[in-house]
Amino acid sequence: MKYVVVSGGVISGIGKGVLASSTGMLLKTFGLKVTSIKIDPYMNIDAGTMSPLEHGECFVLDDGGETDLDLGNYERYLNVTLTKDHNITTGKIYSHVIARERKGDYLGKTVQIVPHLTNAIQDWIERVSRIPVDDTGLEPDVCIIELGGTVGDIESAPFVEALRQFQFRVGKENFALIHVSLVPVIHGEQKTKPTQAAIKDLRQLGLTPDMIACRCSEELEDPTISKIAMFCHVGPEQVVNVYDVKSTYHIPLLLLEQKMMNYLLKRLQLDNITLTAEDKQRGEELLEKWKSMTVNIEQSDKIVKIALVGKYTNLKDSYLSVIKALEHSSMKCRTQLEILWVEASDLEPDSQETDKTKFHDAWNKVSTADGILVPGGFGIRGTEGMVLAAKWARESNVPYLGICLGLQIATIEFSRNVLGIKNGNSSEFLPDLPESDQVVVYMPEIDKDKMGGTMRLGLRPTYFQDDCDWSQIKKLYGNRSSVEERHRHRYEINPELVPQLEKEGLIFVGKDESGERCEILELKNHSYFVATQYHPEYTSKVLDPSSPFVGLVAASAGVLDRLYNGEFEFHGKADF
Ligand SMILES: *[C@@H]1O[C@H](CO)[C@@H](O)[C@H](O)[C@H]1NC(C)=O
Ligand SMILES: *[C@@H]1O[C@H](CO)[C@@H](O)[C@H](O)[C@H]1NC(C)=O
Ligand SMILES: *[C@@H]1O[C@H](CO)[C@@H](O)[C@H](O)[C@H]1NC(C)=O
Ligand SMILES: *[C@@H]1O[C@H](CO)[C@@H](O)[C@H](O)[C@H]1NC(C)=O
Ligand SMILES: CC(=O)N[C@H]1CO[C@H](CO)[C@@H](O)[C@@H]1O
């Protein structure tokens, strides 16, 4: 097993995750099997309880693990399926060591950060890196380890020490370190001092950079590269120039251009890993497909406008996977994407009195959008605005995709305005709603009193029902009889209402294994009106976008027919 550690210096938030996943993706293009581990030096054990306002979205894995959004990045770039063990947090590793201490595993010895905690970290990395993550079911060849935060923080100290020891445990030829640093441009001059200081910190802690990835707003000049090489005691070929590009999907190509892989291949002796001709060919195809997907889109001058009617629209990170899924889909449909951010509560009539401009602005966006998306979310605020947006989409024949709450919203709207259940609502918003008005109900098997960890979580199957050959969503999923997607919810559509809804044309085309719980709804006789109880965005991949999203983007761009004709399929080689 080869390990590539990606750490960061100077400041955080300069794209360590993108660099790490791009490196992994490039290793895959050589035919290697790549996995990844994210180390988060914070005390939380469970990301499910962290506020999306503070921390961005909560990402859900196949196994129901709730992590922060970085694991999503790896899944999307590397086309792999990770588990909850692929994230290591300080809290997790401490509780692991403390549990062993309680069991008496340390035989009465004094339990210390070094060696007990640092050993536990290394054992964890070795164990988890071997978990198969793709459909080959084989052990991966390379593991990318992203160390969160910046080296030198108090928080990351035990992990840095563990990695220092780890390079000796696994051997020099199996361990490479990429340090991501920042080169600010001040008065037109590229400053190397912060990078020099960051590398000094790193060396002091016993780690040697094999590559220094310099983030900069512009291309590094040759003298800058020489200077960094000289003062940081590396060769110029070890300094990688990662300047700002139009889209993060271009970063792998940028790294490739700079021959970063040549160095890594040599350094890790990757040639010694035996690969079959088939593996190699798969790798080459992957690169062609990546180029074709990410570069073609620039040549398109078509723009599709999707209104995202949500709640935390001023914190866009809380919808990160949704945005990524839209980006992947628009690349597939060869159209540029423009997201219109709509704060749902601004659509409500009340807001007309408080802020007229916002009200008109919001409606202007909704009514000019090519498609409307209502994503998942919690809480009451803004839900009446979402109901109005769903009504607009239904009545104006504008493509609509609802996710989780978005499915419940679409059903509430339909119950009120088509079935005539005037006060139809969700018992999530109104706990003592009369039974006749309950459109959305609490799932019976879930314990109402416990908040954390009581959701329907992770990968579950959805079965397409009989008589839905007309369904667009079924066709988009390739006419499969069932699909597996990731869930995260506590409430569901009231099953007793389903016959009435279906009679009026709102059809539940997908249900769970019991045949009772509604998973996918679709409106008959509409350009595209689909909603899912699950979160398809979590499994969207750069090269394999999620079907419900592809459907929304294609319908909004008016190219559904071309999509069904297979015009957007990849045929072997990038056409440039
Ligand atoms: C991604 O992985 C899945 C299975 O794990 C595979 O079926 C699919 O072909 C892969 N996609 C690409 C673009 O390699
Ligand atoms: C539905 O419930 C919400 C939350 O209590 C409330 O604000 C809204 O007015 C209700 N809608 C109807 C039509 O009763
Ligand atoms: C799926 O089924 C529909 C209707 O039966 C058909 O028109 C379509 O070609 C099928 N698509 C695929 C990919 O098999
Ligand atoms: C869909 O509904 C519209 C208006 O209700 C009607 O004019 C049209 O014929 C319907 N189309 C189909 C395919 O049923
Ligand atoms: C923050 C985070 O991602 N936490 C998850 C990491 O994995 C453990 C299980 O090993 C989960 O319980 C956490 O939710």
Instruction: Tell me the per-residue pLDDT of 504-516, one tens digit each, with 9 for 90 and over.
Output: 999 999 998 888 8
Asked if residue 295 is part of any domain, the answer here is no
C-alpha 425 to ligand 2 mean position (Å): 6
For residue 539, which ligand has an atom nearest its CA?
1
Asked if residue 349 is part of any domain, the answer here is yes
Can you tell me the distance from the alpha carbon of 574 to that of 59, in angstroms, rounded to the nearest whole number? 32
Predicted confidence (pLDDT) per residue in 139-161, tens digit:
999 999 999 888 988 889 999 99
Long-range pairs, 379-384, Cβ under 8 A, ≥24: 379/311, 380/429, 381/311, 381/344, 381/345, 382/310, 382/311, 382/343, 382/344, 382/345, 382/348, 383/344, 383/409, 383/426, 383/429, 384/345, 384/348
C-alpha 429 to ligand 2 mean position (Å): 7
Which whole number is the average pLDDT over 248-258?
90
Predicted confidence (pLDDT) per residue in 185-197, tens digit:
999 999 999 999 9
Binned at pLDDT 50, 70 and 90, residue 576 comes out as: very low
Binned at pLDDT 50, 70 and 90, residue 467 comes out as: confident
Of 456, 441, 472, which Cα lies nearest the Cα of 513?
456
Amino acid at 175: F
Examine the domain organization and report whether 201 and 118 are in the same domain: yes
- Across 62-71, 294-303, 308-317, 544-553, which has the greatest mean pLDDT? 544-553
Which whole number is the average pLDDT over 321-334?
93
367 lines ligand 3 (CB under 6 A): no
Number of domains, the chain = 2
Which whole number is the average pLDDT over 413-423?
92
Predicted confidence (pLDDT) per residue in 271-293, tens digit:
888 888 998 999 999 999 898 88
C-alpha 67 to ligand 5 mean position (Å): 6
Give residue 9's pLDDT. Answer: 86
Catalytic, 404? Answer: yes
| Active-site residue identified among 214, 216, 404, 518 | 404
pLDDT at 298 over 80: no
CATH classification of the domain holding 372: 3.40.50.880
527 lines ligand 5 (CB under 6 A): no
Can you tell me the distance from the alpha carbon of 494 to that of 112, in angstroms, rounded to the nearest whole number? 54
Predicted confidence (pLDDT) per residue in 5-19, tens digit:
999 988 877 888 999
Q: Are 150 and 8 in contact (CB under 8 A)?
A: yes
Examine the domain organization and report whether 422 and 384 are in the same domain: yes
Which whole number is the average pLDDT over 391-396?
96
Residue minimizing CA distance to atom 10 of ligand 1: 79
Binned at pLDDT 50, 70 and 90, residue 246 comes out as: confident
Examine the domain organization and report whether 201 and 325 are in the same domain: no
288 lines ligand 1 (CB under 6 A): no
Give residue 51's pLDDT. Answer: 58
Mutate to test the pocket of ligand 3, among 464, 469, 472, 479 (most ligand atoms within 8 A of CB): 479
Catalytic, 278? Answer: no
For residue 394, which ligand has an atom nearest its CA?
4
For residue 526, which ligand has an atom nearest its CA?
4
Least confident stretch, 228-237, 448-457, 494-503, 543-552: 448-457
478 lines ligand 3 (CB under 6 A): yes
C-alpha 266 to ligand 2 mean position (Å): 64
C-alpha 363 to ligand 1 mean position (Å): 40
Asked if residue 572 is part of any domain, the answer here is no
469 lines ligand 3 (CB under 6 A): yes
Which whole number is the average pLDDT over 348-362?
88
Examine the domain organization and report whether 96 and 210 are in the same domain: yes
Least confident stretch, 8-22, 310-324, 328-342, 555-569: 310-324
Q: Provide the pairing of β-strand 400-403 with 425-426.
A: unpaired
Residue 154 domain boundaries:
2-290
CA distances, 533 to each of 112, 485, 488, 537 (Å): 46, 10, 9, 12
Give residue 210's pLDDT. Answer: 94
Q: What is the pTM of this model?
A: 0.88
Residue 380, number of CB atoms within 10 A of its CB: 13
Residue minimizing CA distance to atom 13 of ligand 5: 46
Q: Are 209 and 202 in contact (CB under 8 A)?
A: yes
Examine the domain organization and report whether 304 and 282 are in the same domain: no
pLDDT at 49 over 80: no
**Domain boundary at 242, 270, 290, which?**
290
361 lines ligand 1 (CB under 6 A): no
Give residue 69's pLDDT. Answer: 77
Asked if residue 570 is part of any domain, the answer here is no
C-alpha 286 to ligand 1 mean position (Å): 10
Which whole number is the average pLDDT over 13-41?
92
